[in-house]
Structure 1
Amino acid sequence: MKQLTSYNRVAGYLNKIFDLLNERFFENQLSRPTITIQSTPRAYGHFTTRSDTWISASGDSHEINIGAGTLSRPIEDVAATLLHEMVHYYNYVRGIQDCSRGGTYHNKRFKDAATARGLKVDHDPKYGWTLTSPGEDLLDLVVENDLTDILITRNDLHYTVTTTTGGHIGGNEKMPPKKSGSRKYVCPNCGISVRATRVVRVGCLNCQEIMVER
């Protein structure tokens, strides 16, 4: 696979990850929304509740946005953001209210749905069960499908992404920076890389070199 250094390639890649998550955690019950990459100050992503947020000749759709300035995080964290917003999407189409206080407080309905679908969920005293990170099932999906890091991000120097929740558009992901749940091993000779969910000793058979953790 070519490196993810192009905006257009990344947009297509996020749609691929949506399809993988939809199959694994939602039994393909979610119609594909329009996935956008836009700056979202103080948030990693959002979901819009309006089904006609995007209008086209082939039909209307909701929107899931991934913050343009957050793409360079480990791919499992980007996937966790997408999955977080997909949980909001899943709850919304089933009439489950998973946020209150103007969409800023994630309640236990969100926690239960997210925990059942590959996410770890922690509580924030002000914003509820909004602090999500990749669980083992999501990490397994990343490794099984050899998902790779995105190598392009928006240079959003005019603001800082923080862990406080701003206004929701139906649902909005906030989580503190965490150490990646998976490990990346790289061959020091040819640069080929693999991922693992635990510490392993792995070698590159092409170069007969022990791969090092990066």
Structure 2
Amino acid sequence: MKQLTSYNRAAGYLNKLFDLLNQHYFENALSRPTITIQSTPKAYGHFSMRPDTWVSAVGCSHEINIGAGTLSRPIEDICATLLHEMIHLYCYENQIKDTSRGNTYHNRRFKAAAEAHGLIVDLHPKYGWTITAPSDDLLNFILENGLTDILITRNEFRGISVAGTGTHSPAGTVIVPPRTSGSRKYLCPCCGNSVRATKEVHIACLDCKEPMIEA
């Protein structure tokens, strides 16, 4: 298999992953969404509840998005994110109310559905049962299908960029364009809050309790 070093290959691969996961965990019962790769500063991905998010001459579809700045995470994390959003699609199609508070808080119904379909779920103090990780079954599924990492990402956040060789950058490194201004912009990697400073500073987001990173 050719290395996944182009946007088009990555997009096609995400559709392949959806098909494999749909077959393995849902017996191909899920309708096909439009899978996109867009920037999502506040999350690794999202699911659009509107069935007509995408409209074409032959019909409509939901959207599942994978964050463009997170593509080069290990394949098990990409699969967990994609499967997380597929759980939302599953709940939607089966009339399961899995979120509240403006569809941001993941309730115990989401937790139950996710744990029944290949995920390990932990509690986030603000967003509920939304912290997901691959189960042993999902990890075995990845190995059995020979799934590989995506070696391209949008340069947005520290630690998940791709070096020029096509391998992952070491943690804590980032490709930064030449500075054209004396000011610096810092972002929270969790919620996307931003601040500007005229010099290098060490600053944290009090909402998320996470260090902010230089954009």
Q: Scaled by the length of structure 1, what TM-score is found?
A: 0.74
The answer to whether residue 89 in structure 2 is matched with residue 89 in structure 1 is: yes
Alignment partners' CA distance in 2, 1:102 and 1:8: 33
> Relative contact order (alpha carbons < 8 A, sep ≥ 6): 1 or 2 greater?
1
- The amino acid of 1:77's aligned partner reads D
* Contact 1:105–1:128, Cα closer than 8 Å, also in 2: yes
Partner of 1:7: 7
Alpha-carbon shift at residue 163 of structure 1 (Å): 3.9
- The amino acid of 1:78's aligned partner reads I
Alignment partners' CA distance in 1, 2:190 and 2:25: 26
Alignment partners' CA distance in 2, 1:18 and 1:96: 21
Partner of 1:127: 127
Alpha-carbon shift at residue 162 of structure 1 (Å): 3.0
Partner of 1:69: 69
Structural mapping, 1:132-147, within 5 Å: 132-147=132-147
Q: In percent, how many aligned pairs have the same letter?
A: 70
Partner of 1:151: 151
* Contact 1:127–1:165, Cα closer than 8 Å, also in 2: no
* Contact 1:42–1:160, Cα closer than 8 Å, also in 2: no
Residues 14/59 of structure 1: CA separation in 2 closer, same or farther (3 Å cut): same
The gaps in structure 1 that reach 5 residues or longer are: 167-214
Residues 11/84 of structure 1: CA separation in 2 closer, same or farther (3 Å cut): same
Partner of 1:198: none
Structural mapping, 1:142-181, within 5 Å: 142-156=142-156, 160=187, 162-164=189-191
Q: What is the alpha-carbon root mean square deviation over aligned residues?
A: 1.7
Q: Scaled by the length of structure 2, what TM-score is found?
A: 0.74
* Contact 2:107–2:129, Cα closer than 8 Å, also in 1: yes
Alignment partners' CA distance in 2, 1:88 and 1:25: 14
Alpha-carbon shift at residue 126 of structure 1 (Å): 1.6
Q: When the two structures are aligned, how many residues end up with a matched partner?
A: 166
Find the residue that maps to 1:140 and give its secondary structure: helix
Alignment partners' CA distance in 1, 2:76 and 2:186: 24
Alignment partners' CA distance in 1, 2:92 and 2:7: 29
Alignment partners' CA distance in 2, 1:148 and 1:18: 14
- The amino acid of 2:58's aligned partner reads S
* Contact 2:41–2:192, Cα closer than 8 Å, also in 1: no
Alignment partners' CA distance in 2, 1:43 and 1:97: 21
Residues 64/7 of structure 1: CA separation in 2 closer, same or farther (3 Å cut): same
* Contact 2:25–2:118, Cα closer than 8 Å, also in 1: yes
The gaps in structure 2 that reach 5 residues or longer are: 158-184, 194-215
